[in-house]
Amino acid sequence: MRNSQRKHLHNLSVKSRLRRLEKNYRALLASGKKSEAVKLLPGVNSALDKAVKSGVLHRSAANRKKSRVSVALNRVHPPQ
């Protein structure tokens, strides 16, 4: 029980960090700051890969999320 509780708390912190990163990334896209979002994208992808490596996320879920954040970036047009 102690091990599962410890792992549960670790998984919660990792998931919370992932949500925070994705939320910040999407906020940048919504405000039209594409150049800053481009700089943040590798960090988001890296965090997703690390979550897979530690067993917090399934590989397919991480790949889906990475794909969706990339598509969201490509949909944003730079300000004229």
Residue 44 and residue 25: Cα distance in Å, rounded? 8
Q: Which CATH architecture has domain 2-75?
A: Up-down Bundle (1.20)
pLDDT in tens, 42-80: 999 999 999 999 999 999 999 999 999 999 999 987 665
Domain positions in the chain are 2-75
pTM score: 0.88
Listed in sequence order, the DSSP H helices in 1-80 are: 2-30, 34-53, 59-75
